Amino acid sequence: MSYNNWKMMDKIDVAVRTGDNSYRGFTGYIVPHGDKEALEKAKDWARNREYDREKGKYTITHEPDVHTFENEGFTAKILQSAGGSSQGGRLSFWACEVEKDGIKFTIGVNDAVLADLIRSSDMSNGLVKQKVMFARKAGQPGLIHEGMQSYQDATADMAHKATMKAAKKTSKWEIGGVYSSITQTAICLGEVLDSMEEYVSQTNAGWYGRTETKLRKRDVPVKTLAWVHVYRFEDGLPKDFNELMKKELDDRRYIHFYTGKPPARAKTGQLEVKDTDMKLLDEIFSLRKDSGNYDRVEITGRFARKLK
């Protein structure tokens, strides 16, 4: 399962605006419990200010109420859809009223996350019959419950984060090794020599000019690390290095190169590598074409495992 960038929270703090005080219809700002910096930001958002003409500045008229909740068992009701933006187009946050323990507040829920809530819930007049919890996807707020695919994705993401955090990291990348971070998994193709270098050139093309990236031959080739992302394989890891090589032989654009000490990652697997596989790898590098961003001429042979 791919990483979906979900963040779940065991407990939350909510800064709730008081008095006749809302921001575009929203009255609540949610942050993870214990995040003092985030809570101060939430409280500042929730304060009501009015301009004092005599003092020539804004003064605080209402301080927010701050509540701490276990992140479960909330009642949610969709109030209104995202409206239009003053800059054109539409806003992406729908207004939802949330309640627990007699405390009500209105928050904005991202429409992409809300779509799964609507699909996967029993609803009546906007009221979600399932109890919900708060979560964020790529930083965007959402409401989820156990019957949603989003909940399954979020729990898988949290388990993956915990595994990666506990895993031993290494900067020693080996051919056929599978190396993972929270967001990426890559397979190492080994160390290769790069005979070209990229440089930037300013060209007076037309009336505006442009910056071009070009290639030139190095005096001495430098060592670099070659690798591919596992997302190239929709069903997960290839069964062995040979399967990987045959796929890359068909399309050589997805090989990445890293000069210098490789990043530290957890080694999570090792593909079987045979001598015949290395011949396929040499063929891939010999057929690969490289060029600058505006060059029409493509160069072959930039990368190789050995000097010829």
Residue ranges covered by each domain of the chain: 6-164, 169-304
Confidence of residue 55 (pLDDT cuts 50, 70, 90): confident
**Which own/partner pairs from 294-299 qualify as long-range (CB within 8 Å, at least 24 positions apart)?**
294/203, 294/210, 294/212, 294/213, 295/214, 295/215, 299/196, 299/215
Length of the chain: 308
**Total-model pTM:** 0.76
Residues 6+ apart with CB under 8 A from 39: 13, 15, 31, 66
pLDDT in tens, 200-242: 887 766 666 678 888 899 999 999 999 998 876 666 788 899 9
Helix (H) or strand (E) holding 197: strand 185-203
pLDDT in tens, 164-199: 999 999 988 999 999 998 888 899 999 999 999 988
Looking at every residue in the chain, the average pLDDT score rounds to: 87
- The type of residue at 217 is K
| pLDDT beyond 50 at 285 | yes
> What was the pLDDT predicted at 85?
45
Q: What are residue 82's phi and psi, to 5 degrees?
A: -65, 135
